[in-house]
């Protein structure tokens, strides 16, 4: 079928063949379905994971009351008389992630302000790759670093600190996620157009005020996203805590004690000889669901904050 446009071109040197147009349209359609398929697969995988998590957790909650799960402060699934209170795992997760964020948010912000607003290009081109190199260090290395270097170091001025504690893995995890927060929030700040910086300087702003009063507020949505990502990573991080915090469920908010987190418990059970279908086996799905809910909440908070701070420039 000749399109009107191709007919009009007959006297012209630029002839577009119908065959070419048909081929172009076909590629367009194929690309559309391939891309749609990719999108559908990722959605289906997510739904599948949530389905497994929920269905197994439901079996668990048929045997253990939800009330016990959310109110008891004792988590002993391997005992002959098991108890299933999520709080010991939750407290460990909260404390370790909290320490990690307390390290990585301020330092990440300071570093990214320095790199984006103060450092000259040469320094930035040197420091950024080094930071990104830190991302490549395996987490198991960080775990042993926490256990064998940081804990003994902390013990020199905190004599009562046990060999397994939450402080060391928290600090190390903070350093571990620092490159993510720095790199992402630096990207967000560099995306703030230079015209905005010049506007601030033209009003007599100093470099510091330009960074804190103009660039950071303008980049807030990106910075928030960076911190949410850091939070999700901290909550989901397993190896460092499994190695350096002792894997003992312990309901405490004291970072000087050892504890287990949700993730370390899941590792411990899935690697141990727990029979398939047993209550201990099912408990990892319940714990996993809590983890899932936690990250979901963080993402919702991030989504809300991003919407609040979204700026078009």
Partner 1 sequence: MNGMSKFQTTVQDDSEKPMRKASEHLDHWYLEPDSPTRARVSNLKFWYGDGTQAIDDVSMPLIDKKVTALIGPSGCGKSTFLRCFNRMHDLYPGVRYSGEINLLPEDEDLINLDPNIVRMRVGMVFQKPNPFPKSIYENVIAGLRIRGITKRSLLDEIVEDSLSKAALWDEVKDRLHQPALSMSGGQQQRLCIARALAVEPEILLLDEPTSALDPIATAKVEDLINKLAGDVTVLIVTHNMQQAARISDYTAYMYLGKLIEYNKTNDLFTAPRCQRTEDYITGRFG
Q: Which run of H or of E encompasses 233?
A: helix 220-236
- The reply to whether 195 sits near partner 1 by the rule CB under 8 A is yes
Contacts with partner 1 in 62-121 (CB under 8 A)?
A: 120
| For partner 1, the closer CB: 22 or 213 | 213
- The reply to whether 307 sits near partner 1 by the rule CB under 8 A is no
Q: State the CB neighbour count (10 A cutoff) for residue 47.
A: 10
Total binding residues toward partner 1, as defined by CB under 8 A: 22
| Binder among 59, 209, 279, 295 for partner 1 (CB under 8 A) | 209
Q: State the CB neighbour count (10 A cutoff) for residue 295.
A: 15
Of 153-161, 177-185, 193-201, 297-305, which segment contacts partner 1 by CB under 8 A?
193-201
Smallest gap from Cβ 126 to partner 1, in A, equals: 16
| Binder among 200, 230, 241, 287 for partner 1 (CB under 8 A) | 200
| Binder among 61, 107, 144, 205 for partner 1 (CB under 8 A) | 205
Structure tokens of 161? 């600190």
| For partner 1, the closer CB: 11 or 120 | 120
The contact pattern for partner 1, residues 116-145, with x = CB under 8 A and - = no contact, is ----x-------------------------
Q: Is 227 within 8 Å of 186 (Cβ atoms)?
A: no
**In 3-state terms, the chain is what percent helix, strand and coil (to 5)?**
75, 0, 25
- The reply to whether 204 sits near partner 1 by the rule CB under 8 A is yes
Place of tokens 């008891």: 72
Count the residues in the chain. 313
Residue-wise DSSP of 235-282: HH--HHHHHHSBS-------TTS-B--HHHHHHHHHHS-PPTTSHHHH
In the complex, which residues of this chain contact partner 1 (CB under 8 A)?
Answer: 120, 193, 195-206, 209, 213-214, 217-218, 311-313
């Amino acid at each position: 079928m000749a399109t009107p446009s191709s007919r009009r071109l007959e006297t012209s040197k630029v002839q577009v063949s119908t065959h070419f147009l048909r081929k172009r349209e076909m590629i367009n359609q194929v690309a559309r379905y391939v891309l749609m398929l990719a999108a559908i697969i990722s959605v289906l995988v997510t739904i599948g994971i949530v389905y497994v998590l929920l269905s197994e957790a439901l079996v668990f909650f048929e045997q253990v009351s939800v009330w016990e799960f959310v109110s008891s402060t004792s988590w002993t699934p391997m005992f002959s008389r098991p108890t299933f209170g999520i709080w010991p795992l939750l407290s460990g997760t909260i404390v370790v992630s909290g320490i990690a964020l307390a390290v990585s948010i301020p330092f990440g912000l300071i570093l990214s302000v320095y790199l984006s607003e103060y450092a000259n290009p040469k320094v930035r081109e040197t420091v950024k790759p080094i930071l990104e190199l830190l991302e490549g260090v395996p987490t198991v290395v960080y775990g042993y670093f926490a256990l064998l270097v940081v804990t003994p170091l902390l013990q020199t001025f905190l004599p009562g600190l046990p060999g397994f504690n939450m402080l060391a893995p928290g600090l190390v995890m903070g350093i571990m996620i620092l490159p993510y927060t720095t790199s992402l929030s630096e990207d967000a700040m560099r995306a703030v157009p230079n015209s905005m910086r010049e506007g601030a300087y033209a009003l007599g702003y100093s470099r510091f005020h330009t960074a804190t009063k103009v660039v950071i507020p303008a980049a807030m949505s990106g910075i928030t996203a960076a911190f949410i990502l850091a939070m999700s990573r901290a909550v989901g991080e397993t190896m460092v805590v499994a190695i350096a915090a002792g894997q003992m469920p312990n309901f405490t908010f004291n970072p000087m004690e050892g504890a287990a987190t949700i993730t370390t418990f899941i590792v411990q059970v899935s690697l141990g000889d727990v029979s398939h279908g047993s209550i201990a086996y099912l408990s990892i799905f319940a714990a996993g669901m809590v983890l899932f809910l936690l990250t979901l909440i963080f993402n919702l908070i991030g989504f809300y904050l991003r919407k609040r701070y979204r700026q078009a420039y």
